[in-house]
């Protein structure tokens, strides 16, 4: 069942999303050569806790970090550790905060120092594909209208969308119905209604869409070793234009 949030619930969720977005921005500011992914994770953890919230990801099905930090060919669920960021890396940071019974969820890919033109295009296309999908996140459209718009834009720019992992509803649970794929034909899936809250999250790869999960059971990498980028926001369906709940200036 797809949860429709009322105004009281949305008030708490907006605050959760505000904290989440600020944590993403903090992580992005820390992406620079010489910083470890573990240092970024600790800063995200400490900030979320300082706001009276809990990191949504920490211990979620056993996940050991407060943020997923995925570098270069790691698509999602990169476990923070001792890796030292290098000039030219691209770093995807996915964060969530749980506050007053509700979760926020967002992600972005950041450049570590100077990066290649190709890597910057990948980041830009991934972010823009979210907004292409967002234009269909309106009452009366169907979930796959979002999916189709994302896939069409990404592939028109010569990249691939990940198919093994998808976006999702978000609210009292970190992952709720419906699934929000980044691919597929338009006109399918549940019809969008005001009060739905969706985590729309294109995951885009330079090469083929194929990915593999490492032995740690979490880390997802491209099978061809090519770069990947990720962009996500929590979005509220309204009677008019969609509302990005994890909005941050510049992100």
Residue 232 lies in a domain: yes
Of the candidates 33, 55, 53, which has an alpha carbon nearest to the alpha carbon of residue 44? 55
Outline where DSSP puts E strands in 100-236: 102-111, 160-161, 167-169, 176-180, 197-200, 203-205, 211-213, 220-222, 228-230, 233-236
Residue 160 lies in a domain: yes
Number of domains in the chain: 1
Rounded distance, CA 20 to CA 30, Å? Answer: 16
- According to the model, what pLDDT value does residue 248 have? 81
Handedness of CA 133, 136, 137, 140 (dihedral sign): negative
Residue 147 lies in a domain: yes
Residue 76 lies in a domain: yes
Query: With b meaning 16 or more CB within 10 Å and e meaning fewer, what string describes 46-62?
Result: ebbeebebbbbbbeeee
Residue 191 lies in a domain: yes
Residue 249 lies in a domain: no
pTM of the model: 0.97
List the CATH number of the domain containing 210: 3.90.230.10
Residue 2 lies in a domain: no
Residue 176 lies in a domain: yes
Of the candidates 244, 208, 245, which has an alpha carbon nearest to the alpha carbon of residue 226? 208
Q: For residue range 169-219, list pLDDT tens digits in order.
A: 999 999 999 999 999 999 999 999 999 999 999 999 999 999 999 999 999
The encoded tokens of residue 162 equal: 């990940």
The neighbour count for residue 116, using CB atoms within 10 Å, is: 12
Domain residues for 97? 7-244
Q: For residue range 31-60, list pLDDT tens digits in order.
A: 999 999 999 999 999 999 999 999 999 999
């Amino acid at each position: 069942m797809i949860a429709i949030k009322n105004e009281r619930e949305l008030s708490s969720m907006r605050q959760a999303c505000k904290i989440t977005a600020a944590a993403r921005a903090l992580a992005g500011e820390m992406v620079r050569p010489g910083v470890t992914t573990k240092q970024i994770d600790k800063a995200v953890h400490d900030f979320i806790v300082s706001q009276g919230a809990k990191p949504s990801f920490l211990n979620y099905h056993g996940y050991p970090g407060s943020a997923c930090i995925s570098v270069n060919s790691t698509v999602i669920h990169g476990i923070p550790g001792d890796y030292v960021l290098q000039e030219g890396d691209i770093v995807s940071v996915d964060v969530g905060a749980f506050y007053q019974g509700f979760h926020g969820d967002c992600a972005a890919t950041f450049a570590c120092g100077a990066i290649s033109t190709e890597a910057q295009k990948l980041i830009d296309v991934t972010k823009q594909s979210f907004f292409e999908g967002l234009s269909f996140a309106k009452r009366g459209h169907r979930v796959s209208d979002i999916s189709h718009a994302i896939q069409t834009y990404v592939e028109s720019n010569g990249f691939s969308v990940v198919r093994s992992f998808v976006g999702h509803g978000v609210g009292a649970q970190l992952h709720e119905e419906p699934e929000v794929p980044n691919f597929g034909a338009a006109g399918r899936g549940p019809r969008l209604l005001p009060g739905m809250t969706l985590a729309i999250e294109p995951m885009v790869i330079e090469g083929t869409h194929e990915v593999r999960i490492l032995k740690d059971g979490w880390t997802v990498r491209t099978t061809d070793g090519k770069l990947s980028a990720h962009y996500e926001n929590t979005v509220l369906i309204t009677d008019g234009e969609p509302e990005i709940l994890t909005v941050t200036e510049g992100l």
